Amino acid sequence: MKKKIIFWAVLILLVAGGAFGYAYFYKNKGQDIKYRTVRAERGSISAYVTANGTVNAVITVLVGSQVSGTIQKLYADYNTQVKMGQLVAQIDPALFQAQVSQAKATLENARAAYLTAQADISTAKSNVEAGKANVLKAKVSVEDTNRSLKRSLELFQKDLVAASDRDTAQTNYDSAVALLEAAQAQLKANEAQLESALTKLEAARAGVKQSEATLELAQVNLDHCRITAPVTGIVISRNVDVGQTVAASLQAPTIFTIAQDLTEMQVDTNVSEADVGRVSVGQEATFTVDAFPQTTFRGKVAEIRNAPITIQNVVTYDVVILVKNPELKLRPGMTANASILVAHKDDVLKIPNSALRFRPDFARREAAPQKGIQAAPGAPPSSAPSLPSIERLKVELNISPDQQGAISRILKDTRSELEAARKARPETISAKVREIGTFTRSRIRSVLNEEQRKKFDQMAEQTGTQTILPKFRIWVPMPQNRPMVVEITTGISDGSFSEVISGNLKEGDEVITEAMGGNTKSGSFASSQSSAPTMKMR
């Protein structure tokens, strides 16, 4: 009996001691929870878009050959400074020189044929003139014999001449007519000969022109054997050697690559489609290259090319940054890590981004979010951005059923994009939400007519831009080591700090960035308060 009593007494003591130790240990650990805080301060903040790119010369010329042949001589090499028109390569001209000589001989033959045709024309013209004279003479003879015949007939009727005289007159007239017909036939033959000579002259003239064109082409090909620099610059690439045969049958082979001016360079960067909306011409940019990691090069955005670059379903756009290179440190082909300054503000209230990401353990364990507090840490609430409703557009813009359907689809797509934006990094949410809001308004405006657009723009002005800015909740320390949540609206971010646009936070206030020490996994602290207090926005 005593053994049983001792056994139960010891067991009760052990259980009581364990319960007391457990409660005391975790109570003290819960009370030992500490938080690392940072003061909200004023200062400058800059937002950047980062991208990788390649350093290239502003103007790069590929020097090729328009004729096929063997490289006879090279007058330039890598890094050779060349001037416009300077001879840089020579192709063996023997074949093309022979073609020029052949073309010259053909031209001489054509010119000789042309001179022969001219002589034939002169002869034909003389024959035509002689034929005309013969016809005229025959006509005179016909008229004379005709008068004689008439006189003989009159005299014969009066029996004043013999029949033989009449017959002689008739014979003379018939002979004259025959001679006239022969002369006219000869004249037509001479005229036909003249026409033929003229045709031969035109053919000879065309042959001369064709031979001249053939000679000109042969001469051009011969001249192309001398390859000259089209611009003043430096040779950055040589692709052939002496004795190598180049074939230009399909396309001109590249012999040299010449950069016009290496003191003026450009960086072709690939900016993602999510960030390209924030980039504009004239913005300042900085970049580094692996060859000079400690040197920061500065330039400006000169061009945003509209041609998309799609690689594995990732769409980027070429943003061209111009940069001075007086010391010739930058070389074509270098990889650049660029940062484009898309926004900058001075004297703004800012807090570290770690404060946007922090959330106490007791808040994580809450089964459901409190009213007015976000469900996910660091994500913008569902009310941002504020989207116009179909009912309001029906009343204020009098939109048609087709317009209603189109706008409904746009708003549905926008909500999907906002859900995706909530999963992004806190420092990028602000820009993404802004971009989504701007793009949505642009799409809605494209559906409206001119009058509706004016009213829609007035609605946007009345609503203001604050409705599309993302909201976050941060935690501030309070007495008795109880954090309190504060809702704020953020602006631009530089990746480390974010601008605070509105909210119950002022300069010098401390914000929690990290929990340190204590049993953060215990439910003792969470059980001490069923919900965290909330500070409403001003």
18 in any annotated domain: no
If the chain, 538 residues long, is cut into consecutive pieces of 10 residues, what is the mean pLDDT of each piece?
A: 69 73 54 79 91 93 92 93 94 94 94 90 88 88 86 82 82 88 88 89 92 94 93 92 87 88 93 88 94 94 93 90 94 94 90 88 57 40 52 77 84 77 61 70 79 75 50 82 83 85 87 72 36 35
127's CB contacts (< 8 A; 6+ apart) are 190, 193, 194
64 in any annotated domain: no
Taking each helix axis as running N to C, give the angle between helix 450-463 and helix 390-397, from 0 to 180 degrees, rounded to the nearest 10.
120
Are the C-beta atoms of 228 and 87 separated by less than 8 Å? Answer: yes
Q: pTM, whole model, 2 decimals?
A: 0.59
Task: Return d(Cα 93, Cα 12) in angstroms, integer.
Answer: 113
Task: Return d(Cα 514, Cα 523) in angstroms, integer.
Answer: 18
Q: Which of 210, 236, 257 is the last residue of a domain?
A: 257
**Token pair for residue 243?**
């004795």
Q: Which of 174, 197, 223 is the last residue of a domain?
A: 223
77 in any annotated domain: yes
Amino acid identity for residue 289 in this structure: V
9 in any annotated domain: no
23 in any annotated domain: no
Which helix (H) or strand (E) is 102 found in, with range? Answer: helix 94-157
Residues 157 and 177 in one domain: yes
Residues 157 and 245 in one domain: no
Range of the domain at 279: 47-58+261-346
- pLDDT of the residue at 369: 44
- pLDDT of the residue at 534: 36
Residues 180 and 298 in one domain: no
Q: What is the DSSP letter of 486?
A: E
Residues 402 and 524 in one domain: yes
Q: Indicate which CATH number applies to the domain containing 251.
A: 2.40.50.100
Q: Which of 311, 346, 381 is the last residue of a domain?
A: 346
Are the C-beta atoms of 504 and 486 separated by less than 8 Å? Answer: yes
51 in any annotated domain: yes
4 in any annotated domain: no
Residues 382 and 515 in one domain: yes
Residues 40 and 51 in one domain: no
Amino acid identity for residue 502 in this structure: S
Q: What is the DSSP letter of 159?
A: T
Residues 246 and 332 in one domain: no
C-alpha torsion 392→398→400→406, nearest 10 = -40
Task: Return d(Cα 358, Cα 484) in angstroms, integer.
Answer: 12
Q: Indicate which CATH number applies to the domain containing 201.
A: 1.10.287.620
**Token pair for residue 219?**
């001469």
Residues 164 and 304 in one domain: no
Residues 518 and 391 in one domain: yes
- pLDDT of the residue at 426: 57
516 in any annotated domain: yes
Number of folded domains that form the chain: 4
Residues 363 and 446 in one domain: yes
**Token pair for residue 155?**
């005299």
Per DSSP, the chain holds a count of helices (H) and strands (E) of 10, 20
- pLDDT of the residue at 377: 41
Residues 481 and 403 in one domain: yes
Residues 107 and 169 in one domain: yes
